[in-house]
Amino acid sequence: MGFVEKGGSRSYKPWGEWEEGDYVSGIYKELGEDQFGNASYSVLVDDTNISEFKVDEMACLNSCGSMNYKMDTVQIGERIFVEYLKEGVTSKGKFKGKKFHALKVMVDESYKKVASIEEEDDDNSYDSLSDL
């Protein structure tokens, strides 16, 4: 049995420093809050092209309109892929003239299926005491 550190540090990179095509994927572990009370998404990284993030370490993806909207239906424990598309400026509406960050957020459906199958197998492994 191995020990895993809890409450360790998380790597962070502000959206304004991401470039088109930057990505990170991993297991969505926790929804938290930053010092301003905005959403903060913790991901255990399994792949990335961003030097600030390391595989098998936690990355913190902070709040922005696109991220919040797309993460609304993502469940903790799902494997996600987040890609930075672009930075733009809103052309109309109440946020006209404000910067925005466009992101692609995807959920790995095959990961969810594998996890569900493993859970079912674990639950049904021992149907009676004679199986022990």
pLDDT means per 10 residues, the chain with 132 residues, are 61 94 96 91 96 95 93 95 94 90 93 57 47 44
pLDDT confidence of residue 130? 46
Residues paired with 114 in a beta bridge? none
Domain for residue 16, yes or no? Answer: yes
pLDDT at residue 128, rounded to an integer = 44
Q: How many structural domains is the chain composed of?
A: 1
Task: Look at residue 47 and tell me if it is in a domain.
Answer: yes
Kindly report the pTM of this predicted structure: 0.77
Domain membership of residue 4 (yes or no) is no
Q: What is the pLDDT of residue 17?
A: 96
pLDDT at 48: 97
Q: Where are the beta strands (DSSP E) in the chain?
A: 11-12, 23-33, 39-48, 58-62, 79-89, 99-107
Q: First-to-last CA distance in the chain?
A: 21
